[in-house]
Structure 1
Amino acid sequence: MCVATCAAWLTATTCQAGIVAATGDSQTSAYGAILQYQFNRFGLPAQALRFASGGASAPIYTGQATDIHADPPHAHDFGADALNSGAGVVLFQLGVNDSFLEPDQFAAFQTLIGAEFDAFQTAGAQVIVGANLPVLTNPNDARYALADERVRTLYNPWLQTQAAERGWLFLDNYHAIQQQPGWQSWYSDDGLTPGYVHLYGGQKVNGITPGYDWLSQQYAFGVASLCAGDADMNGVVDGADYTAWADGFHQLGGFAGGDFNCDLLIDGADYTIWADNFSPGSAAIPVPEPASWLLLVVGSWLPVITFGSSCAAAPRQYAKNCSPQLGKLGSKAAGQKTTSGAAETGNFCARSRRAAQG
């Protein structure tokens, strides 16, 4: 049984995630507003920015059409804004607004967003691509069922393929949310009545709705998976990261203190993640081993923390579509604000050694 919320099978090569930019539509604006809280809660030394707008579609995202929610309204390229902010990691979720439009906009979406993805790749940014969430059926409007079908059969599969081909993480939000108890009760487009697209429903905790709390977790843990073992997120897993783990061993702590699986306890599972991702070129020494007393303690835990099918440590490989079960969190977002108004939509996914799906 996996005891970690961030999964013990993370892997990373390099991750310079000092600035993380969430980009997309009004769902991104909502989860992005609490992303910094998630980073702080789990000790991720990163700054969250957001470049998102209610009603955003591919033409608006890429600056081909006016963002009416910008202040003042103007056309701008959300992806370029993210790169210009200095973001090392870009979070992308978009497509539901496009799925509502007639005639079908999927071909145009592929062209516009494909060019945007090329720009991310050229800039060397790491990207986490999130699947769009389900659109619930509205008995009074057939467009909602059609939009969900397009999201499920066209937009999300294309985004997943793009992530795989470019070596990016893909978060299967569409299926992962459906594994959460009572997930449909999270849907409300106004915060008062049941809805179909937004996650403004449910009992708030600290002002955060359960749906956006959950969604922001998926992206926070995705960032953690990119930086597995890299406590200071400086782009290399080295002896300094081992020292952070060793200094905090057997204590409560966050990612920067060596808690690489985000369960808020620094233990043997976190050492395994660090060792699996240690960069040989970062030091002229072998992988450091814990002191003998640490080995005894770590060894006594290994049957629990390493042998579950979903807890196996992973080698480096391309992003897998996965939807592991995660804990609960929430955050405040810094950065440019273009918030949502219109009804539209905008998992932590790790790369698993067994290509396991969480």
Structure 2
Amino acid sequence: MKNYFKMIIRLLKFNLSFVHSVQVIVCLIAFIALQGCGKDRAGDSKDNPATMATKNSPQSKPVLVELIEIKRGTIEEILERSAALQAEEQVQVLARTQNPAIELLVEEGDNVEKDQVLLRLESDSQKTAYDQTMTQFDKARVEFERLEKLYKESLISESDYLNAKFAYEQARLQLDTAKRDLDYTEVRAPIKGTITARSVKVGDKVTTGTSIFEIINLESTVAVVHAPEQYLPKLKKDMQARLISGTLDNQVFEGYVKRISPVVDAEAGTVKVVVGVKERGSLSPGMWVQVELVLDENDEAILIPKRSITYAVDQAFAFKVDTDEEGLRRAKRQLVVVRNSDKE
């Protein structure tokens, strides 16, 4: 520091102008200040707690892990799919004649048997036609039986006999038609099931082809899923399946593979699988369910929780306990082969 002041005095002894002398002195003072700051910073770096902590910081502490004992048990290979339930037996009951409705015998929600009468239509004209054709049929039958006896005795010609036979057969056909038209005035259930829709009421004029009822056999409820074609070799008829309904608090229903399509959808690369339900319970067509197809089952598998497995470069690893020479227990990474996997 003394050397710096000596330099200032020497400069003042020279014949420098006042302005130049001030500029030089200011520069020297600034230089001295910077030098002092540099020393302070250097000194601070030696005693800096952050720097000392980095140098003297200990190694990372071991991480505690939970140990689980591996055991053998049953594990399933499962293919999961979602599907909306549907009924395989579902029909629209159509009117087959044109008459007003006079008696409604069932309502929505009613269970019905096959051929049960659901609705009666006005039938006056059909009954009249049936009675007339019945009279004509009886007349033709009596005439045919009379001429048949005469023909056997060779008392009439063959043409007379054939004409009588033809008239009798025509009358029988007309009677069958009249009986059918009369039967159409009673609308019957074509299948066993539950009435799920009704579109007419008493007094409505029903026309031919009008949809009157919808009947669904709830016991025919199935789930239709589409499995990737690579699973086709593992799919078998009657194999175990499960249906899980989120609507019913994830209740599980036992099912089975009812049918497997013999062809693969070329565009989607999938095969259609129809899954039946053993006990329908509260399941109804239209509900969405999670379907689990049990492709394989191993009763003596080594079970490792999924959360204990890590993956790297398409390989699976688990950690096992290894005791070193000092008696310390450490986790050692072990390559494993995952064959089957479930949710856990």
TM class by shorter-chain length?
under 0.3
TM-score of the superposed pair, with normalisation by structure 2? 0.20
- Look at both structures and tell me which one has the larger radius of gyration over its CA atoms: 2
- Considering fraction of residues, name the structure with more strand: 2
- Considering fraction of residues, name the structure with more helix: 1
TM-score of the superposed pair, with normalisation by structure 1? 0.19
